[in-house]
Amino acid sequence: MKQNIKFALGALAIFVAGGIFATALITVVKPKEAEATLKEDAYRYYEMKHGEITTQQTNGETAAAAPTEKTEKQDDTVSVIVTPTNTWAEGSNAVQQFSVAVTNNGAAAINDWTCVIEFDGEVMDNINGWGGASYTALGKTVTISPTEPWAKEIQPGDSKKDFGFQLRSATGVTYKTAKFTSDLGEIKIENKEAEASPAPVEVESYDGTSPVALHGQLAVKGTQIVDKNGEPVILQGVSTHGIAWFPAYVDKEGFKTLRDTMGVNTIRLALYSSTNEGYSKAMHQKVIDGVNYAKELGMYVIIDWHILANGNPNTDKEAAKAFFTEMTGKFKDYDNVIYEICNEPNGGVTWENDIKPYAVDMINHIRAVDDNAIIIVGTPTWSQDVDIVSQSPITGQSNIMYALHFYASTHRQELRNKLNTALSAGLPVFVSEFGISEASGAGMIDENEGTTWINYLRSKGVGYVCWNLSNKNEACALIKDSCTKTSGWTDDDLTQQGKWLKKVYTSK
């Protein structure tokens, strides 16, 4: 299998939460350029030198600095920047998303702190937050208390930009000010005159015609996905490349272009799960952003824990649990979210000994929070051996599907036979990744075999997601490497696979 580093909203009453920035001596930190190299067996040697990897500082605990005698001259100030980044309606409530950046402008290290953020109205207590901290809503305030050592410690001149939260209120609130207390005592926040507010975040309305508006919460019935009315629905999607390498394509306008011009109803957000392939906790925010863009556009979205180089999903199992704890906590009430818990198990791992025990544990972990969403389970040999899985599927669980991946120039009738065996045995299968190149993601493009695959999948009611949304110089990318646009693509901007995909997805 490919070893590549790789829909409702009806008319909403839109509110706009104004953003006032409490700032002081703001430091702008440019993302570091990064380079990722992967040697992979079976098909190719792959070297990646493209895009940016946003890394997260992971300082260990350090000894607390000795308290300093404060004088009039000591510049113990911090910047607390609270930025509204998204807003939407959820029933009768307003949901707002904010990012928070904290900068230490003083001369001494901060080794523990609490920040109380005040709004102009009452907020509800069911708040979701991220970034190595706990979040408490009370009255008109939200309190951030870091829990991880790397979040607690802020060196002089250092900025922490990984914090953020979603809050609910009756009509929407506006940020007013913040109070910052640390191991050095209460630290002054110097408020400048309010900066200009960012442009309002608009939630679009599609008068009941978006994919999610038409079909609502999905479920698994027999071997197929069915919608809120129990009718079969086929998801046809596009997967991002690894979001650490191509973060610019996690883009609302880009998703909108895919939906409106290419017949795409589903976005797959691929988060590589190995640090050697760009994983960091900072990338969680990109996943969160992508899910919310999909929700605003009425599209379905797959949150993909992208196992690849770390072949056995048990290798990073605890990180996977932490990731899905965060994601389910945020999205358990969303009706457009699907979880994919292990992209492509490989390297000799087996279904019975490795993948199935992992999947049972992870499914129980997710179901403790979200008991409705569809969960996709990877299968052996880079998600090809669905026939083997069909002999011993997971029992006692609903809304479970099993992944099949194919690349049409390599995988042909033999793999379709394996799929047919699984479907005949009653196994619900979803093609969470495919292309029409060779399995390496490079080489020959086979449009005819790709069309044969899609026609077969449609005849069986099996959904499918194409790899990949990027301008990487490879056959399986959808955008030409000469095109730098992240939305609004014309046919001239698309690769051969991109043009084929548009033709097939928009056909009936």
Beta strands 113-119 and 175-182, pairing class: antiparallel
296, 326, 344, 474: the active-site residue: 344
Indicate left, alpha or beta for 383 from its phi (over 0: left) and psi (-120 to 50: alpha). left
How many Å is the Cα radius of gyration of the chain? 23
DSSP 241: S
- Read off the tokens for 253: 């306008």
DSSP assignment of 323-342 = HHHHHHHHHTT-SSEEEE--
β strands within 93-246, DSSP E? 93-104, 113-119, 128-130, 133-138, 141-146, 159-169, 175-182, 185-189, 219-221, 224-226, 236-240
CA distances from 378 to 335, 352, 415 (A): 22, 13, 16
Report how far residue 249's alpha carbon sits from residue 484's, in angstroms, rounded to the nearest whole number.
Answer: 10
148 is catalytic: no
End-to-end Cα spacing for the chain = 28
- Write out the DSSP string of 4-42: -------S----------B-SS----PPPB--EEEE-SS
Indicate which residue of 433, 438, 449, 474 is catalytic: 433
Distance between CA atoms of residues 505 and 397, nearest Å: 32
Distance separating alpha carbons of residues 388 and 307, to the nearest angstrom: 20
Catalytic residue flag (residue 90): no
How many other β-carbons are positioned within 10 Å of the β-carbon of residue 125? 10
Compute the Cα dihedral for 30, 57, 49, 253 and give only its sign.
Answer: negative
Q: Are the CB atoms for 131 and 171 separated by under 8 Å?
A: no
Would you tell me how many other CB atoms lie within 10 Å of the CB of residue 44?
18
- Give the SS3 label for residue 188: strand
Q: List, by residue number, the catalytic residues.
A: 344, 433
